[in-house]
Amino acid sequence: MGNPTGFKTIERQTPEDIPVLVRIKNWDEFHLPMPEEELGNQGARCMDCGVPFCHSGELLSGMARGCPLHNLIPEWNDLVYRGFWQEALVRLLRTNNFPEFTGRVCPAPCEGSCVLGITSPPVTIKNIESAIADKGFEQGWMTVDLPQKRTGKKVAVVGSGPAGLAGASQLNKAGHWVTVFERADRAGGLLMYGIPNMKLEKKVVERRVTLMKEAGIEFRLNTEVGKNYPAEKLLKEFDAVLLCMGATRPRDLPIPGRELSGVHFAMEFLHANTQSLLDGKPAPHFVSAEAKHVIVIGGGDTGTDCVATAIRHGVRSLTQLEILPKPPLNRDPSNPWPEWPKTYRMDYGQEEAAELFGADPRRYLVTAKRFIGNDSGRVRAIEIVQVEWQKNEKGGFIPKEIPGTEEVLPADLVLLAMGFLGPEDTLLGALGVERDVRTNVKAEYGKYATSIPGVFAAGDVRRGQSLVVWAIHEGRSAARAADLALMGQTSLPE
């Protein structure tokens, strides 16, 4: 601990952002880099706690608390403070395969569990992590990770999202020949097509995939196992299989008018937008929000990404509907540290909407009753109603409509961003793998083995919709389980 009083004398600082009216004219990342001296000062705010809650990830009250990757946060904070950047990168890569991703898109449950956060603003862990990774690439410290020897075993990884990439990376380190199957035209899964470019530039994903290819990992793109590549062939050709397809079945909204054109799932909108950006021409299913009244239904990260993307198209108006109540400004007594703080905040999309239209675009405690169409079968409006949460006969809370609060809003484009219900059925049905009550692949946490010998599962396909850090953690841990099954022993970390 190089500065024992840093947490008392140094205030929390985060990177400056490019002004809203400038950044919404392009698709570039908008956080400006912090000077190294300031990053060192922020590292000095780390208290070197006796019990660092930040790097002990677990679920608390149903939410992530701390980092499930068990990143050695106090160690690399201090190394950055001392100016030992390469040593900080070594510490970071011991637990996290892709800090350049998590430093950009993770909501930072580590900061929510920072001990300093009990009384003061927490350490800026996420920004330091991202800076370490980027400096590693700039300085050439992020090199190809070739295995010392090959085992001769072949392993298939289905899905190239964060869990699949992490699993593939670890299995390759163990010396196995790894093939990653991806149904899209580019590798990265959620990282490539589920997160907009201004939040995670795709060249960041592509440079990591390039390193993995150079390390000997094969990527088979435009290949959907169970559809244009038989599931039986997968089991025949490979000694082990790791399923990492995610939980990509979206939650629908079956209300009157759902069949109208102009009502889309969020991922349809986001995927086609990024593909169009990368290809330099409109994708086949590109949806434009230009000059439209846009309604986004859902208040999570995906909803925010839809808001920011629509703004860059040039919307006429924008409203985001949230069925939950507005969070408090400060922690509620029922939400104590070290739980993730469920407090009111505006993410980048809401900040941009507020700058353009004068207010946070979110409407709380409302739900949609019906979509209203025009004569050509296209949505033109949405009827909403206010709700209140009441206990049902089982003691659970459910939303109840408040009569007389109905309202009609103009809507030329509606984006459904209400989360995901579980994995798609195509491959899982073809394999006949056992599922749990939530339709996820049934595989015990820590073992990751499915009902089919030699087949493992990790990430959202096993646990349901979750965070990128949990996906990377599970991909790493499942790779260890697969390596142990193949070789009878393993040196891979959990």
Model pLDDT for residues 223-261, shown as the tens digit of each residue: 999 999 999 999 999 999 999 999 999 999 999 999 999
According to the CATH classification, is domain 6-138 in 1.10.1060.10? yes
Query: Is the confidence at residue 200, as pLDDT, over 70?
Result: yes
- Burial pattern 417-453, b for ≥16 Cβ within 10 A else e, equals bbebbbbbeebbeebebebeeebbbbbeeeebbbebe
Query: Is the confidence at residue 64, as pLDDT, over 80?
Result: no
Q: What is the pLDDT of residue 114?
A: 95
According to the CATH classification, is domain 154-248+421-487 in 3.50.50.60? yes
Contact call for residues 186 and 192 (beta carbons, < 8 A): yes
Q: What are the CA-CA distances from residue 285 to residues 221, 240, 267, 421, 443 (Å)?
A: 19, 35, 11, 23, 35
Model pLDDT for residues 118-168, shown as the tens digit of each residue: 999 999 999 999 999 999 999 999 999 899 999 999 999 999 999 999 999
SS3 content of the chain, % helix, strand, coil (to 5): 35, 20, 45
Extract long-range pairs of 229-232: CB within 8 Å, 24+ residues apart: 229/181, 230/430, 231/427, 231/430, 231/431, 232/430
- Counting DSSP H helices and E strands in the chain, the numbers are 17, 18
Q: What is the pLDDT of residue 1?
A: 64
What residue spans in the chain does CATH classification 3.50.50.60 cover? Answer: 154-248+421-487, 252-418
Query: Is the confidence at residue 494, as pLDDT, over 80?
Result: no
Query: Is the confidence at residue 93, as pLDDT, over 80?
Result: yes
What residue spans in the chain does CATH classification 1.10.1060.10 cover? Answer: 6-138
* Residue that is written with structure tokens 């990790």 in the block: 458
Q: What is the pLDDT of residue 393?
A: 87
Nearest in space to 242 (alpha carbons), one of 429, 430, 491, 479:
479
Spell out the CATH class of 252-418.
Answer: alpha beta
- Largest Cα separation within the chain, whole Å, is 71
Q: What is the pLDDT of residue 49?
A: 87
Global pTM reads 0.96
Structure tokens at 361: 């675009």
Extract long-range pairs of 253-259: CB within 8 Å, 24+ residues apart: 253/297, 253/368, 253/416, 253/418, 255/368, 255/369, 255/370, 255/371, 256/369, 256/370, 256/371, 257/370, 257/371, 257/372, 257/373, 257/379, 258/371
129 vs 137: CA distance, rounded Å: 13
Average pLDDT rounded to a whole number, residues 310-333: 96
Beta strands in 197-250 (DSSP E): 218-220, 240-243, 249-250
Contact call for residues 150 and 188 (beta carbons, < 8 A): no
Model pLDDT for residues 364-417, shown as the tens digit of each residue: 999 999 999 999 999 999 999 999 999 988 888 999 999 999 999 999 999 999
The conformational region for residue 360 under phi > 0 = left, psi -120 to 50 = alpha, else beta, is: beta
269 vs 414: CA distance, rounded Å: 10
Question: Do the strands 455-457 and 240-243 form a parallel or antiparallel pair, or are they unpaired?
Answer: parallel
The one-letter code for the residue type at 94 is: R
**DSSP bridge pairs for 435:** 441
